[in-house]
Amino acid sequence: MNRIIVIATLCCAILSCSKAPPAQPPVAKKIKKELTIHDDTRIDNYYWMRLSDEQKNSENPDAQTQDVLDYLNAENTYTKSVLNHTETFQEKLYTEIIGRIKQIDESVPYKKNGYFYYTRYEEDKEYPIYCRKIESMENTEEVMLNVNEMAEGHDYYSIRSLRVSKNNQLLAFGVDTLSRRIYTIKIKNLKTGEILTDQIEGTTGSAAWANDNETLFYTIRDPETLRAYKINRHTLGQTTDQDKTMFVEEDDQFSSGVYKTKSDEFIIIASRMTESNEYQILKANNANGNFKVFSKRKMKHEYSIDHYKETFYIVTNRDKAKNFKLMSTSENKTDERYWQNVIEHRDDVYLNGIEIFKNYLVIQERKNGLLQLRVTTWDKKTDYYLNFGEAAYAAYLSTNVDFNLQILRYYYTSLTTPGSTYDFDMQSKEKTLLKQQEVVGGYNADEYQTERLYATAKDGTSIPISLVYKKSLKKETGNPLLLYAYGSYGSPIDARFSSTRLSLLDRGFVFAIAHVRGGQEMGRDWYENGRLMHKKNTFTDFINCAEFLIKEKFTDSSHLFAYGGSAGGLLMGAIANMNGMLFRGIVAAVPFVDVVTTMLDETIPLTTSEFREWGNPKEKDAYDYMKSYSPYDQVEAKDYPAMLVTTGLFDSQVQYWEPAKWVAKLRELKTDNNSLIMDCDMETGHGGASGRFKRYRRTALTYAFILDQIGVHE
């Protein structure tokens, strides 16, 4: 793909002084833009930085495009000059980080429909190789996709959603070469190796095969808002203009998708928003049939469905079950009035998901912020929890495709335990370790300490904090500490192992996760009390956790750093305004910081579907509340800590201009001499680089920035 990469040229059209020395930060030009609603006018001097996708991809940039690209490149040049003295250190960190990754590696195989499927990596290769073997792992390997070969000539290359037809002969998969999360679905004949002429553009990348092995259901994205809104049916050999539209989601607060049940018996269309779900079902043997609604959507009714034999199992918050309960119904009587209770609601336990087996039901739950796996027989004579034996950990259901087994596969990790895949015999209760992430060069978990502590929020709520550090660390010495949080969408941040993190821990850092409200670690209320008109709890919880860690002598303000990305970047922006000087430095990765302006613009991806997360600023109360914490709107003339901001030109989740505008405004108003730098990846989007190793270049830069603040350069 042809992209514009403009070498930094500091032109007078955008910088206040074209002869400024390299060490001077770029100063963006100001063009006054008045934004008025609810009789309130906000002035945005940097609104001009916004470019359309067409402008970003143009081979002949117009004047505005050139100005924006020049400014972004000037910021990158400035960042490079500020961190120039750390370049050798960055390279050392990068080598150190990727040196812990096993170069030649292979996933744990799982068996489906007669084949063992697995993924492997080759030495010095950036991308996976997707493979399978028939019936036995002793048989000849069949390479389905070698992504290293496919990615040649591309700056960015992402494969997702590999789906094999029921006859095992066809593979559908999504390809994104731009990092905008718009995928082209391609189909490969696994017998001949041929890529079929059928190519479906503008999709989410995910597809579902009907059982006739020639019909594919897929989801189309709106090219402007990127909302997944339309489900089409494609027949092999036909052109896409012959595809039939099966469903269009008219409500722009909902997104849609399509998938196949584990039983292979149903194709499911899912429509989702923050507080409501709806599903439509179609027998997978009836490819040309029409979908029927499972149970009609209702505001504040959320549910999900699983199928086994003639029964659907429903995880639902019906009947005020805020932490969800499990119900069931016949596949022929799916309306809500026929549902029957299987597991009742519990105030202290959040029902997170289920895995169905012939003789067992496995329930993934959360209690006291920790994931639990509960095993019960259908007759309820056996009911027990797996014991993991650590204070802070994460345990997840893994790939379990066979209903008839008594073996549960799960994934376990903690802040000190590398990711581990187990097979657990639900009858004998014996577990077998199939694979544990290898840390190349050696790693001894006994050298590290993990803790689970609780800070007290301003309203008296106890906020969990998970910590890890070397046992040799002494708390009274003012240790450097990196505090991380996310706190949005009900997404829990669990205590997981990271070999990358060792580069900080081994240099004396404490790493801590603040499980702030807005996630769902402590149940549904934890989420409800951190969104909409309670969003500020997320920010004050984080600050209270930071103050607690200082009080407990884990660190002090001169050694305390904060990190968050995307919606966690909003958190970083908010705390920078509220109590920034509590921290030595803040790293805001792809940060959502221009909350009000973005949520007022329904042409921007994610806006309409997130009104129930942040609020709709077209309503005055929501507007006033959002404006009161929106980082871009609340920048003031005062001191801020050292800050590193990262973004990507092709980011589809948080458009690059949000962090770019924020940095420009901070630089205009802040009264300190602390570092403020921005790294804009001119090739990628929200998730950064697509390669297995390349992504760690930015990690090395981030760590070098943090360590440089406290004078560590080796």
Q: What CATH number does the domain containing 273 carry?
A: 2.130.10.120
pLDDT for 490 equals: 95
Over the stretch 481-516, which tens digit does the pLDDT of each residue have?
999 999 999 999 999 999 999 999 999 999 999 999
Q: CA-CA distance, 276 to 303, in Å (whole number)?
A: 8
Residues 164 and 133 in one domain: no
pLDDT for 13 equals: 33
Q: Is residue 465 in a domain?
A: yes
For residue 137, the tally of other CB atoms under 10 A from its CB is 10
For residue 105, the tally of other CB atoms under 10 A from its CB is 17
686 catalytic? Reply is: yes
Q: Is residue 545 in a domain?
A: yes
Amino acid at 149: E
CA atoms within 13 A on the CB side of 443: 24
Residues 148 and 171 in one domain: no
DSSP 394-442: EEEE-----TT-SEEEEEEEESSS--EEEEEETTT--EEEEEE--BTT-
Which residues lie closer than 8 Å to 654 by C-beta, 6 or more apart? 566, 569, 590, 591, 592, 647, 686
The parent domain of residue 629 ranges over: 34-62+83-98+448-709
Over the stretch 666-680, which tens digit does the pLDDT of each residue have?
999 999 999 999 999
pTM for the whole thing? 0.91
85 catalytic? Reply is: no
Q: Which of 153, 172, 189 is the last residue of a domain?
A: 153
Lookup: tokens for 20? 């400024």
Residues 51 and 185 in one domain: no
Q: Is residue 67 in a domain?
A: no
Q: Is residue 518 in a domain?
A: yes
Q: Is residue 547 in a domain?
A: yes
559 catalytic? Reply is: no
CB 15 within 8 A of CB 74: yes
Residues 92 and 115 in one domain: no
Q: Which residue in 651, 679, 681, 708 is the catalytic one?
A: 651
Q: Which of 133, 153, 173 is the last residue of a domain?
A: 153
pLDDT for 179 equals: 84
Give 153: exposed, middle or buried? Use CB within 10 Å, 0-12, 13-18, 19+. Answer: exposed
pLDDT for 603 equals: 87
Residues 671 and 693 in one domain: yes
- For the stretch 136-143, contacts whose Cβ atoms lie closer than 8 Å and that sit 24 or more positions apart, written own/partner, are 137/109, 142/190
Q: Which of 300, 318, 345 is the last residue of a domain?
A: 300
Q: CA-CA distance, 61 to 43, in Å (whole number)?
A: 27
Residues 119 and 237 in one domain: no
Q: Is residue 630 in a domain?
A: yes
Residues 604 and 699 in one domain: yes
Q: Is residue 54 in a domain?
A: yes
- Identify the bridge partners of residue 237 per DSSP, sorted by sequence position: none
Helix or strand holding residue 78 (H, E): helix 63-82
Residues 165 and 111 in one domain: no
Residues 145 and 167 in one domain: no
pLDDT for 309 equals: 94
Q: Which residue in 165, 234, 686, 708 is the catalytic one?
A: 686
Helix or strand holding residue 100 (H, E): none
Domain count within the chain = 3
Q: Which residue in 295, 499, 566, 609 is the catalytic one?
A: 566
Q: What CATH number does the domain containing 517 carry?
A: 3.40.50.1820
Residues 608 and 691 in one domain: yes
Q: Is residue 647 in a domain?
A: yes
Residues 512 and 642 in one domain: yes
Helix or strand holding residue 554 (H, E): none
Low-confidence ranges of the chain (pLDDT < 70): 1-23, 685-690
Residues 586 and 470 in one domain: yes
Over the stretch 546-566, which tens digit does the pLDDT of each residue have?
999 999 999 999 999 999 999
